[in-house]
Amino acid sequence: MVTINVFLDDYRPCPDGYVLARNIDECITLLDENTVNFLSLDHDLENKKKNGLSLVHYMVEHKLFARHITIHSANAGGGKAMYRYLKKAQQDHMMPSDSTIKLFPMPLNGPKKAQ
């Protein structure tokens, strides 16, 4: 497996050194087919039923993790829910205890959609 960094966002531009996932399905495929070192997650996506919180539920259920997970969502409530769910999964030994989980909201940068 290849080691990559993944940036899940349907709006912000992808940072250098990351592979862009525009939706949950793309992110799941990247997690399933690669070793992910850094995973940066947004909550609000175009598909309202498949948001960042549904992704973290899927990740825990299917044991798809990254070494470092950052929730960058500007949605304060959604980002905190994702963070709390992952930390609880860690406390319950449902995900690796050595994975780092950070909540680091990012403002939306500019009017341009991610390419």
What is the chain's mean pLDDT, rounded?
92
Give the residue from 49, 52, 35 showing the smallest Cα distance to 99.
35
43-97 pLDDT per residue, tens: 999 877 899 999 999 999 999 999 999 999 999 999 999 999 999 999 999 999 9
Beta strands, E only, 1-115: 3-8, 19-21, 35-41, 66-71, 100-103
What's the whole-model pTM score? 0.91
The domain ranges of the chain are 3-103
Q: Which CATH fold topology does 3-103 show? A: Rossmann fold (3.40.50)
